[in-house]
Amino acid sequence: MKQDPAFSCHQDSAPRGECGGRRKRREKMLDASDIRLLMLHFLAQNDAHGYELIKSIEELSRGEYSPSPGIIYPNLTLLEEMDAIRVVDAQASRKAYTLNVAGRARLAEQQAHIAHLIERLSSLAVLVNNRSLPDVDRAIHRIRTTLNSRLSQQDISAETLEKVVNALNAAADKIAAS
């Protein structure tokens, strides 16, 4: 089956470059094709406006991920041009969209990938819940504060840096094995 470029699954696993020399760019959570599939998924459940689609996607992750209007609205236009969706009432002040036959077909073809996307966003919600537990929150704060304090020293030795890296790696290994 030939892959439609508008729905190609872009996998960018390469690390992101640095922005401005100091701050690292945050990796993209979802690409445009993932957003389009999620939009089709939600439109299969109910007709919706762009804002409602943003809120539906945001709700999956308990607020940890919210697509911007700058990604939602152009993709609604693209889906409409692809005849995957259509406007419910062209005279309404806010456009609500519904799924067309082509949209339902695309949705059926991509069920496994959509399930993966939903699981990925849902896991963010679990992360938010677990990270907000008081003991976990205090431990994360303590590690962050201690690490920042130690690494902010001007003349930190290579030996000290090696100890810090080893301690962090050991902690990560223990957490992964727990």
* pLDDT tens-place string over residues 120-153: 998 888 888 888 889 999 999 999 999 999 999 9
Would the CA dihedral through 112, 115, 121, 122 be positive or negative?
negative
Percent of the chain residues topping a pLDDT of 70: 84
Q: Nearest 5°: CA angle at 82, between 80 and 85? A: 40
- The answer on pLDDT for 177 being more than 50 is yes
The CA distance from 99 to 44, in Å, is 6
